[in-house]
A and B are shown apart, each in its own frame.
Chain A
Amino acid sequence: MIRTTPFHDRTSAANVSGLWEHWSGYLVASKYQLSEKFEYFAIRNSAGLFDSSPLYKYRIHGPDAEAFLAGVLARDIRACPVGHGQYSAWLDDRGFVVEDGVVFRTAADDYLLTCAEPNLAWFQGLVGRLRVTLEDVSEQSAVLSIQGPRSREILGSIAPQVCDLPYFGLTGATIASTPITVSRTGYTGDLGYELWIPADRALPVWDAVTTAAAGQGVIPIGMIALYMARIEAGLLLLDVDFGSSRYAWTDANRSTLIELGLGWMVRDLAADDRTFIGRTAVERELREKSSRWKLTGLVLDWQDYDRHYDAAGLIPPKDHTPIQDEYYVYDDHGTQLGYATSLMYSPMLQRHIALARVPLDRTKPGSHVKLELPVSHRYEYFDATVSRLPLYNPDRRTA
């Protein structure tokens, strides 16, 4: 039986499209309105409310919690003060990415780690003799994400401490007489916050937030709008842009941190004395420059795009609906270079964009490649330019 989230009474009332999908065994809206693009613009122009409750959430605590996470996460958790969070990844011993997620330090020896898929056994298997306890607290919290330029003002009107919260900061707050935690995080590449709410208080907090937001164009947003925003922001999606190394059949389906463009997480290895899983492999990859490719942004040449369709007698489609599937990347001579994993027409950039893997000699922004797309029942090769991620990155995101 598919489960519903603690917000279901509200999300089901708001969903006029009747379209739902399944996320980690929960029912979540694909889109609430008949137009997912309208929801997308709520994120970029006002704020969108997204129900993130199905995330897996693990509490990691105990005197050795820091030492534990320092050894299992690629990014140095010791640099994360109490009241902050980090976007991190965990690797296997060959340097391949198992998964990524956000970890919050709620106290000196207490952390909350969130991720898309179950990882409890993986982490528990690594505890050894450390004094650390791992608990699956996924169902204890409902997570309400409010994303967009108005999010600070709206949340600040009911929880003033939010106004000064830095990017990836974490604070306690009381909304609807409910003690909650607010983090300045999200999956949209915009200014935004996530509210961590005791599950049984989900509805009063939802109501308080929507009341505070009334008349300001804030609407619930579904998965499609979220995907649009995350592609523009260059945020990777598990099982779309990469797969977990634990369940890959071959190395072709595994990715290293550096290949995914996440090498910045281990930028300071020289000054970092940790022994973390995958470190040796990362160092070797850096030393030997053995990355097979790198994940980067692609921007399609709009004139070339139009030309292909014009020549086929068609009106060039500019459909914003994200296609989270593979399209192949070629050079000018028809040799395959790599592949794209997410493709969409970006309303903010007014161009088609993609997340793609390209060989190391094409990673420089401005490098030229061809993207293979079907036009009128045959493949055509579209001019595209390699572009640094994120492709859309408003100042307000971190300001």
Chain B
Amino acid sequence: MAKSTGVPASSDGHPIDPASGLADRRASERTYDAIVIGAGHNGLVNGAYLAKGGLKTLILERRHLVGGAAITEELRPGFWFTTFSYALSLLRPDIIHDLELTKHGFMPLLMPSTFAPMENGDYLLLGQDHGENLQEIGRHSRHDADAYEAFNHDVLRVCRAIKPLLDQVPPDIFSNDPEELVALAALGTRLRGMDKKVLHDAVRLLTGSAADFLDDYFESEIIKGYLASSSIIGTKVGPYSQGSGLVLLYHLLGEHDGEFGAWAFHKQGNGGFTKVLARAAEALGAEIALESAVERVITRNGRATGVALVDGTEFHAPIVVSALDPRRTFLELVDPRELPTDLVEAIERFRFQGTSAKVNFALDGAPRYPALGDRTDQYRGFTNIGPSMEYLERAFDDAKYGWYSKRPYLDCAIQSTIDPDMAPPGKHVMSCFVQYAPYHLKESDWDAERENLGDTVQATLESFFPGFGDLVLQREIRTPLDIERTVGLSEGNIFAGEFLAPQMFLFRPAPGWSQYRTPIDGYYQCGSGTHPGGCVMGAPGKLAAGQILKDRGRRRAPAETRVAVEA
């Protein structure tokens, strides 16, 4: 990796040769086949696939480290924080194999348990033994132990039916291209082939509320609270809102070692994962330049021809790919006047409304949960502070009216219990995903409320883990505003745009522009704001690369034919 300017140092440990300063190179050396803007996980995946496809590829990153929102930082000596994104599940398996990630250190560590404390001091603790899990659920409701089996079976059938959509470019239903009609027909055939119940369940999940779906199966509040927590993550909905079913389904669609709904913690956090991606991309020939903020995409006669950095340096390539979110891709990197009005309007209407925050702790020891005495093995997976659907919905109520939750939903992970390299022996790092924390606060702002949010989160934890505050060595608060400022995600939306039905599939990010192209020839999009969306999935980066390479093949084929004929 190299920087465009500046000193020969890199915080992620890559030795950097100042002589490779990209700005100092001659124009011919600043010419590539493809330039990717943003070294988040999708930018890296995209760049790696383009390099694998034979393109001389440059990936430009504004910050001093790769990863975008998937970074791990040593914010206190010996303590490594997953500042933003903190776990893996939806990563597409073909990316692991296509990019040979296992050769570059890919290591998704099993999270063997899920812990859901309750407000009355009891808890739900699920682990790796199926029979024991049913007994544990049965402790709360004998009915739900059986219902849990039925729920899982029904949901798995939906996941199996829906999953292929994650690995496909959405068909363009607005096009008359015969290839698109074939793709559309294939989709129709797939729908027709689906079992009636599976299709109905899929539609109920994709359009309905998580609460309605879960109420059909369960009676226990803790089971429903635990499951419904996945229905609100990153999205401004409550479990009773229509649309929360879609978010729930997305979180169940992930897989780890073939197990749907299973999550893993990558060695050294998601920053460890994006470093693996960077190594894979470089091994395939891609060049990564850090501290190289792109000012704009250079266009000529409706074609992208390169990019200009903030420092004025220009790089040239016939292919420019934005891994940034749709607002930045369409409204900031290019002049909206170059785009069709309906697209500009659609992007202006695209909902970001980030609603999540992170509060990360360095801890002097593991928290104590009174009902479990001195046990700490319950922390080897997620600790879910969302003990009922009502708890979650009340947390959402605050957000509806422009404020952060008084009792927030927290998805906590003490990752040092799984990866000892995250903290010194006996000490811990604890990542807390916080919801709801709406980007727009009513009559205040996040610079004023940042510490208050931290206090709210800490007080909530204290109520479940008495003495928690005494363990805190350091606290890092990342509000939606901080996410926007640091990572660049508009309004701090972790999915680069809300997971709402009108913003998914054919409509992500805008009707007619779901196939990673843009109206500007040679300018593409590959971020989480495109299908199939956010989470550390990599599918947008991969699918976009497929489109780019296909388009390039098409463009070149006639020229080569012509040369052959002339010869």
Contact = CB atoms under 8 A, between A and B. Distances in A.
Given A214-B426, A216-B420, A348-B107, A35 B93 contact: no
Contact of B258 (A17, A44, A214, A315): A315
Interface string A186-220: 00000000000000000000000000001111000
Interface in A243-302: 302
B417 interface: yes
Given A302-B97, A318-B258, A34 B129 contact: yes
A350 interface: yes
B464 interface: no
Interface string B259-297: 110000001000000000000000000000000000000
A315 B417 contact: no
Given A33-B112, A316-B258, 5 more contacts: A34-B127, A34-B129, A35-B110, A35-B112, A345-B258
Contacts of B259: 318
B53 interface: no
Contacts of B260: 315
A45 B109 CA distance: 8
Contacts of B127: 34-35
Interface in B396-436: 417-420, 424-427
8 nearest CB pairs, A to B: A318-B258, A215-B425, A35-B128, A215-B426, A217-B420, A34-B129, A216-B420, A35-B112
B257 interface: yes
A217 B112 contact: no
B380 interface: yes
B113 to A, nearest CB: 9
Given A217-B420, A315-B160, A318-B258, A347 B425 contact: no
Interface residues of B, number: 31
A345 B93 CA distance: 14
A318 B110 CA distance: 14
A130 interface: no
Given A45-B267, A217-B419, A345 B257 contact: yes
A320 B109 contact: no
B257 A320 contact: yes
B107 A34 contact: no
A84 interface: no
Q: Is the interface of A mostly helix, strand, loop or mixed?
A: loop
A217 B421 CA distance: 9
Interface of A: 17, 33-35, 37-38, 41, 44-46, 150, 214-217, 302-303, 315-320, 345, 347-351
A14 B108 CA distance: 25
B465 interface: no
A348 B108 CA distance: 8
B128 A216 contact: no
Contacts of B128: 33-35, 37-38
B258 A37 contact: no
14 contacts: A33-B112, A34-B132, A38-B112, A41-B109, A45-B419, A46-B420, A214-B425, A215-B426, A318-B258, A345-B257, A347-B257, A350-B106, A350-B257, A351-B97
A22 B156 CA distance: 37
A350 B102 contact: yes
Nearest to A149: B421
B102 A348 contact: yes
Nearest to A315: B160
B425 A216 contact: yes
A75 to B, nearest CB: 31
B156 A315 contact: yes
B96 interface: yes
Contacts of B93: 302, 350
B202 to A, nearest CB: 16
Contacts of A302: 93, 97
Interface string B138-180: 0000000000000000001000100000000000000000000
Nearest to A219: B377
B277 to A, nearest CB: 15
Nearest to B380: A38
Given A216-B425, A217-B417, A320-B257, A37 B97 contact: no
A45 B108 CA distance: 10
Contacts of B156: 315
Contacts of A315: 156, 160, 258, 260
B388 to A, nearest CB: 27
A17 B418 CA distance: 19
Contacts of B418: 41, 45, 217
Best-buried of A33, A214, A303 by chain B (most CB within 10 Å) = A33
Contacts of A17: 129
A202 to B, nearest CB: 24
Contacts of A345: 257-258
